[in-house]
Every structure is written in C-alpha cells, then in structure tokens.
C-alpha cells in the first residue's frame, strides 16, 4: 500500500518499467486486450504511438509480428464489402506490408475460434517469455469449460443462468497480447466431452504436457467453478444416508457485507499465499468459508452465522486442482464471516466512525472479508476504502482485524495486529449483556458490541479478565511487527524468496504468540 492508500505498482509506467526482473517486458505493447473493437491495421505509412518522451515529443513503434491478413487489393475490396465502408479502399496510408487484424478483444477472439466451449469472464494477464522469439511479452489467460446438462446420473445445478449437471475446467486458453496468437491447452485428459472435441478438431488443442513451466506457475483455480463445487458440496458432504435424507447437516457459502451493501451477500473465493496445515511450503490457494443451514419445522432453511468448514482450492504446480475441506469440530462454535461483520457493525468505536465518514462527502466501501488460517487459529481481515463523491477513486484508509473474539480498526494491518494481539482482552463477565453471546439463527444474533469484546467460544467458556501482557508476549509482538516490515520491504524490492521466508516466520510467530496468550490467560484465571 502506498502512502495515500493507493496500491504499490510493481509493473507500471510509460515507458514500461518493473521493480522485479520477472516482470520486465521486451514487448510491452498490447494490441489484443479487453477493450472492444472490430479491427485495426498495422504496417501502414503512419507510425504507431508508443509513449510520450516529453511534453512536446513522443516515441513511436511499428508492429513486427507475422500475424494478420495481408491487405492485398483483392482483400481490401472484400473487406470494404464486408464493412460497407470505403476507408481501406481510399486510404493512402495502406502499403504492400499492411496487415488487417480482426477481433482484438480477447474474449470474443477465443469464442470465434471455439464457440462450443464456455469461457470465463475474467481474463488475467501474465508476463511470459515467448518460446519462439525469446521475448518477454504479456499473455492473457482465459478459463474454458466443457459443459452439458445431459450427463447421465448427475443432478442439475444452476450455473450462469442455466441448469447444468457437468462442468469441467478442462481447457486453458492463452492469447498473445502482442500478435494475437491463440493457444488452447487440454488440461484434463480424462474429460469425455473434451475427448470428442479433440477428435473433431485434432489440430486445435495442445496437450498440457507441452505447456511451459513458466506459464503453468501462473495458473489459478477458477473462482466461479469453486463456487459451484461449494454449492454441491453443501448438500453432498453428508455421507450417512439417514442424515442426507433428513437434510440434517447442510452447508451454504458464508456471507459478508461488501462494497456499500446494507445486507450481507454471498462471499466470493479469495486468493491468498499461505501455508496449509501439515504443509511445509507457502502456496497460492483460493479460500471459501462455509456456514451451516438449519431447517425449521416448516422445512424453511435458516442460515447460521458460525463457520463449519473452509474450502481450499490449490493452484501451485504439482497440486493444481486439489480441493480440501477443512471442517471444524461441531462442539466448537467458530465465528463465521457474517458474525464478524455483525461485530464490526455493533462496535462502539468502528460503527460511529463509518457513519461519520459516510456523511462527510465521502463513501465508505467495505472490502472482502478475508478469513486466513494461521496454524490452529483464524484471522479475519477486512479493508476499508474511502472515495470522494466527486472523484470516485477508492483509497485504502483503514484495516479491520479480528480473531473472532475481538475486533479492532487501524491505519495498517501491522498496527491492527499490534492492537489485537498486544493490547486488550475480553471484558469481565459483568460487562456483557445476557442473551447476546454465542452464534444463533439469522436475525437472532446480537454480537457483543465494543472493541475488545468477547465473541463465541466453546460451550461453557467464560470470558477472561484482561491482564498486562507478559514481557515474553510483548517481545513476540515486537518481533512479529519487525518480521512483517521485513516482508513488506522484500515485496517492494521484488525479493520473493525472502518474502516467502518472512511469511513463514510470521506463521511461526503467530503460533508462538497464540500459545503465549493462552498461557497467560490460563495463569490469570
């Protein structure tokens, strides 16, 4: 985060510059991207604008790719008839080297090539070295799915406005942002629908084994597929026939308050770099919290505000596509995202501040609530953005941090962790109103208000009396803050190896700190 709440850009500027060698580009020009357009022409007598050099001088470039349709006289006539325009026929800028490039919008481009696949709506760019030329360029990665609603013995679920009973992310599509080359990668060799397409179009798909390792390292598990799988898992995680028949333990995707929404809405998966339980290395994963659903006497379902599972999708090479559901013990009530959101709304410090910001010519935007597993505990982090009503550029202003029992707001994550872990504890039992503890049904929960208020715990657990942090605990907090600063510095410098080492050290310190806090609380009982 920058000084004024904006992002720190590792790759930016005209001309392009990067803080990390892995983000440097030999061909930063983007001819094919997300902007709409019918066509463009290269190789004309006019130079192409590249970037400004000074207030009165510009740098120019020329397209040097070998793609595009040669604009021969006959092709110019045909295209003029197609477009019902005489521009290409009458233009004096066309030369014998001019080329016509159709469909520069990458999503529409891949649909024109293979309309029988269903495509994701969020292409993401990556910096890669072109195997043919050796140049580092921008490539677009687009998710592609094989889909049907007629697969035998499979239940239909709504997806993208229609019922489907078979969805696989069997294809990854890449588009060279410089010359527009499209490559379809067959990622799932066991997909029967993809096997039919490969037999019909044998030259269209390339096997995943030929994918460059550099590209494979950039692949991420699609969030819209994880959402669909979470909905199916919410019903079919019950393996006992009687439990399934009575629908005694259904799950649903947890909810959060996002943006300027007044009511909670279904969460979307979020990507984090973390170390999963039992693993030694940090990895790139997608997380999605799950909450229980209770059926009333009239079979009407009611969402509960605690969390029963955390669904994880792995993306790193060697583990790509693996799904893990970490379930929480039923005898322990773990606060869900919606419960933490309620704690934020009822906090004596945070809630008035949000109201004040919202009436002072600014708009408060609540970011996604991140649920981050750290050893045997959970950390909840929600960014807060402010944007002026006239200048709608959101800036990160505050970070809300919670451990499920207390909630604090600070200017940075570092400061929030310091407040949460090094200052304050739960209030005495007499400070908590009766009937406002625990996690209950939707609309029936009134989470305790006030920063530092105790939230849900194990049944029968009494609030702990606040005490002065021990010297060992204070030393651990200081070390945690120092390591966090070192991690941020390594990230700004592009030293990802050291950044990963610092994150691993943070992981270890969080576990150590949790043990010290529990030990101090036990000693103070």
- Is 157 found in the same domain as 84? no
Place of tokens 């709608």: 392
Is residue 416 in a domain? yes
Is residue 211 in a domain? yes
- pLDDT band, residue 10 (cuts 50/70/90): confident
- Is 188 found in the same domain as 324? no
Q: Which of 223, 128, 244, 218 is nearest to 176 (CA)?
A: 128
DSSP 8-state class, residue 22: G
The last residue of one of the domains, among 466, 482, 512, is 466
Write down the H helix ranges in 256-408. Answer: 337-345, 350-358
Q: What's the total number of domains in the chain?
A: 3
- Is 96 found in the same domain as 127? no
- Is 274 found in the same domain as 230? yes
- Is 424 found in the same domain as 290? yes
- In which element (H, E) is residue 157 found? strand 157-159
- Is 249 found in the same domain as 199? no
The last residue of one of the domains, among 76, 101, 126, is 101
pTM beyond 0.85: the answer is no
Integer Cα distance of 24 and 22 in angstroms: 6
Domain range holding 77?
A: 39-101
Is residue 352 in a domain? yes
- Is 345 found in the same domain as 446? yes
Q: Is the pLDDT of residue 297 over 60?
A: no
Is residue 194 in a domain? yes
Is residue 434 in a domain? yes
Integer Cα distance of 394 and 365 in angstroms: 8
Q: Which of 169, 116, 173 is nearest to 145 (CA)?
A: 169
Q: Which two tokens stand for residue 194?
A: 């993809």
- Is 130 found in the same domain as 76? no
Q: Is the bond leading into 76 cis (omega within 30 degrees of zero)? A: no
Is residue 517 in a domain? no
DSSP readout, 237-284? T--SHHHHHHT-S-EEE-EE--BT-SS-EE---EEEEE--TT-SS-EE
% the chain with pLDDT above 70:
86
Name the pairing type of β-strands 270-274 and 395-402: unpaired
Place of tokens 């790759």: 11
Backbone angles phi and psi of 371, in degrees to 5: -110, 110
Q: According to the model, what pLDDT value does residue 285 have? A: 96
147-153 mean pLDDT: 95
pLDDT digits (tens, 9 = 90+) for 31-68: 999 988 889 999 999 999 998 888 889 999 999 999 99
401-410 mean pLDDT: 94
Q: According to the model, what pLDDT value does residue 54 have? A: 84
Neighbours of 448 (CB within 10 A): 24
Is residue 519 in a domain? no
| Highest-pLDDT range among 16-20, 365-369, 441-445, 501-505 | 365-369
- Is 194 found in the same domain as 69? no
Residues in the chain, how many?
Answer: 525
pLDDT digits (tens, 9 = 90+) for 119-142: 999 999 999 998 888 899 999 999
- pLDDT band, residue 280 (cuts 50/70/90): confident
- Is 163 found in the same domain as 75? no
Q: According to the model, what pLDDT value does residue 370 have? A: 95
- Is 123 found in the same domain as 97? no
Is residue 497 in a domain? no
Q: Is the pLDDT of residue 83 over 90?
A: no
pLDDT digits (tens, 9 = 90+) for 226-264: 999 999 999 999 999 998 988 889 999 999 999 988 899
CA distances from 128 to 24, 172, 182, 184 (A): 9, 15, 14, 16
Q: Is the pLDDT of residue 89 over 50?
A: yes
The last residue of one of the domains, among 431, 466, 501, is 466
pLDDT digits (tens, 9 = 90+) for 155-176: 999 999 899 999 999 999 999 9
Q: Is the pLDDT of residue 19 over 90?
A: no
User: Who's near 228: CB < 8 A, 6+ residues apart?
Assistant: 157, 159, 167
- pLDDT band, residue 496 (cuts 50/70/90): low
């Amino acid at each position: 985060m920058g000084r004024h709440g904006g992002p720190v850009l590792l790759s930016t500027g005209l001309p392009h510059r990067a803080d990390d060698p892995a983000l440097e580009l030999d061909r930063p020009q983007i001819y094919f991207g997300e902007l709409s357009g019918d066509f463009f022409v290269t190789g004309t007598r006019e130079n192409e604008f590249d970037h400004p050099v000074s207030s009165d001088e510009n740098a120019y470039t020329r397209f040097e790719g070998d793609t595009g349709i040669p604009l021969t006289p006959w092709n110019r006539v045909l295209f003029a008839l197609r477009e019902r325009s005489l521009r290409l026929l009458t233009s004096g800028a066309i030369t014998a080297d001019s080329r016509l490039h159709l469909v520069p919008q990458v999503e529409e481009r891949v649909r024109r090539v293979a309309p029988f696949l269903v495509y994701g709506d969020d292409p993401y760019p990556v910096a890669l070295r072109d195997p043919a030329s050796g140049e580092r360029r921008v490539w677009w990665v687009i998710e592609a799915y094989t889909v049907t609603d007629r697969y035998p013995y499979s239940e239909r679920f709504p997806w993208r406005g229609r019922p489907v009973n078979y969805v696989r992310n069997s294809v990854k599509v890449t588009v060279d942002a410089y010359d527009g080359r499209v490559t379809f990668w067959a990622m799932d060799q066991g997909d029967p629908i993809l096997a039919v397409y490969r037999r019909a179009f044998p030259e269209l798909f390339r096997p995943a084994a030929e994918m460059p390792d550099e590209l494979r390292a950039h692949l991420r598990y699609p969030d819209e597929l994880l959402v669909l799988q979470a909905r199916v898992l919410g019903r079919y995680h019950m393996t006992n026939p009687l439990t399934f028949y009575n629908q005694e333990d259904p799950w649903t995707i947890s909810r959060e308050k996002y943006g300027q929404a007044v009511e909670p809405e279904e969460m979307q998966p979020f990507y984090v770099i973390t170390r999963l339980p039992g693993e030694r290395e940090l990895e790139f994963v997608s997380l999605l919290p799950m909450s229980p659903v209770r059926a009333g006497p009239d079979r009407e379902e009611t969402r509960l505000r605690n969390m029963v599972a955390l669904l994880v999708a792995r993306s790193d090479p060697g583990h790509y596509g693996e799904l893990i559901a970490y379930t929480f013990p039923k005898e322990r009530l773990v606060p869900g995202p919606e419960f933490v959101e309620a704690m934020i709304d009822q906090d004596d410090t945070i809630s008035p501040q949000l109201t004040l910001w919202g009436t002072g010519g600014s708009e408060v935007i609540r970011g996604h609530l991140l649920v981050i597993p750290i050893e045997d505990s959970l950390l909840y982090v929600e960014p807060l953005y402010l944007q002026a009503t006239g200048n709608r550029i959101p800036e990160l202003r505050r970070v809300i941090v919670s451990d499920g029992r207390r909630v604090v707001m600070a200017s940075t994550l570092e400061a929030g962790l310091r407040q949460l872990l090094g200052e304050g504890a739960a209030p005495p039992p007499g400070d908590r109103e009766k009937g406002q503890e625990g996690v209950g049904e939707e609309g029936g929960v009134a989470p305790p208000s006030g920063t530092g208020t105790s939230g849900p715990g194990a049944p029968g657990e009494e609030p702990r009396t606040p005490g002065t942090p021990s010297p060992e605990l204070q030393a651990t907090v200081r070390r945690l803050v120092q390591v966090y600063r070192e991690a941020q510095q390594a990230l700004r410098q592009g030293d990802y190896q050291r950044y990963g080492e610092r994150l691993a050290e943070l992981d270890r310190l969080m576990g150590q700190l949790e043990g010290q806090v529990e030990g101090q609380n036990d000693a103070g009982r």
